[in-house]
Chain A
Amino acid sequence: MRGNRRPVARYGLRFVALGYLLVLLAAPVAMVFYRAFQHGLGPIWSALTTSEARSAIEVTLIVAISAVVLNTLFGVGTALLLVRRRFPGRHLLDVLVDLPQAVSPIVVGLALILVYGKFGFFGSWIERNGIKIIFSLPGMVLATAFVSLPLVVRSVAPVLAEIGDEQEQAARTLGASSWQTFRRITLPSIRDALAYGVVLSLARSLGEYGAVTVVSGHVIGKTLTLTLFIDERLENFDQPAAYSAAVLLAIIAMGSLLISRRFRTRSRSVA
């Protein structure tokens, strides 16, 4: 029906929805920004340029980017397998990819410790070879990769399915090898969807807290990500620093929403 003939119902629903969003989302976020910027940019800048803050930023970037690279490779490969190939267990793989979404981040941390920790399954092998996974960066990369696993797969797969493989088949008949077909036909066609997935994955990886807090070891200056930095600063009653870092992460989150939206609409119009 064109238009709602009952303005009361329409305004009522609108009021309820917007009111709820205001109270739960908009007001608290506005408050955090207010608190952080209350005394201008100066305090924020100094809070975020201490050596601890800077190393937290550095650690966050290393861990997040590593996790994103791993998941992008995995994501594209898995998407191709799920959409373009048939094999026994395909539905199982499809379900497994979504598994990480159902796992509490604390459980993720525990799971990784039980396998890669000193007393874990591979613990002794790892010790013998002098590698440190848990309580060190590699463990944090694993934890971050775990939680953001499905994101690239789930953005690329639908677009792959919608585009269809006719172009790839045409390339094959013209003599292109698998790799050439992938690089020159498939990859360009999923470029926007892939960018969307990568941005989502990066945002998620930059913001992981629960899983990383378990496997981290919390060594200031070495194994603290920004989220753990916030935690550490709150414990030391350093609210300004905690708020500064929180606002930084909030801005990154909002930025990633804006950027990823652009990629999402572009990927839809191509497909």
Chain B
Amino acid sequence: MSISIRHVTKRFAQFTALDDVSVDIPTGSLTALLGPSGSGKSTLLRVIAGLDTADAGTVSIEGNDATHLPPQRREVGFVFQHYAPFKHMTVYDNIAFGLTVRKAGKAETKSKVNELLELVHLEKFQTRYPDQLSGGQRQRMALARALAVEPRVLLLDEPFGALDAQVRKELRTWLRRLHDDMNVTTVIVTHDQEEAMEVADEIVVLYDGRVQQVGHPNDVYEHPANDWVMSFLGPVTHFGSLLVRPHDLDLAHEISDGALPATVVRVTRLGFQTVVDLDVQGAPIYAQLAREATDRLTLEPGALVYVSHARGEVLPAAPAIPVPAADSLL
């Protein structure tokens, strides 16, 4: 195990950020700490790095107890959400910083930094200052800087959060490929479930300071440990106490066991998928179906259909009619 966290608790005044958290991060894996804001994921990352100290519990890195070590001695690389560039230094000096701290020789530093500049495609920018770079370039620089000292563990705190969607997608793919090449244990904090599913070998889902589930992305999606995890990882509709994904709903003209009557409100065809907006006894829901499935039915606004669970489970009750918020226009 690369990182072992045991019974870590961390409080900030009245607020408990981490509540008896225990997690193992396998060596060489890319693990995502996934959760909404306030779930404790960033705090956990900072505790691993030594940037925050836990009130209780232990942190081990590659078998050594690191709980009381300062960040300088943990050999972790950390990449911040807002990059934390050394504004007064050039890109080259930023990346070289960790090596100059270790008093590496000039030639050795130069070759290592050049290697990293090539890796992150910033060779032409080495004499520039961070404020002359775009967000994505700054993040790549931050990554190179963290990798320069060959850390045992690489920690990324919402590294792509401050970038726009296109750049985010590109860097996500690039990070995955980088990890496959370098094989350094990586932990990435994110609130974006799509990002976690796409990039990670393993997801640790956190909520309210506690670990909700640990597993492979597919596992967590298909077999969520509880309702909360299920609704966090993807869209759900509540049928009474049963949570169902829109693509797990079937539509038919004939009634069947456990089905509910519904009126079609709108049909939207999106390529190979069709989204059907339905009204189930006053509650608006939507179902996601394959094109062929909807082609077999006549779906006009106002038509009556029966909604059932694709895997045969009984829909216990109609969804609750949503109460409009006090300031809503609807």
Contacts and interface: CB of A to CB of B under 8 A. Distances in A.
A39 interface: no
B137 to A, nearest CB: 27
Does more than half of chain A's interface fall in helix, strand or loop, or is it mixed? loop
Interface string B189-210: 0000000000000000000000
Interface string B52-82: 1100000000000000001100000000000
Contact-residue bracket for chain B: under 10
Interface residues of A, number: 3
Contacts of B53: 2
Secondary structure class of chain B's binding surface, majority of residues: loop
A243 B53 CA distance: 55
Contacts of A102: none
A2 B52 contact: yes
A2 B51 contact: yes
Contacts, number: 6
B70 A5 contact: yes
Interface of A: 1-2, 5
Contacts of B52: 2
Contacts of B71: 1
Contacts of A2: 51-53
A1 B52 CA distance: 8
Nearest to A1: B51
Interface string B29-58: 000000000000000000000011100000
A128 to B, nearest CB: 61
A2 B10 CA distance: 14
6 contacts: A1-B51, A1-B71, A2-B51, A2-B52, A2-B53, A5-B70
B49 to A, nearest CB: 11
A1 B53 CA distance: 11
A5 B51 CA distance: 12
Contacts of B51: 1-2
A74 B294 CA distance: 74
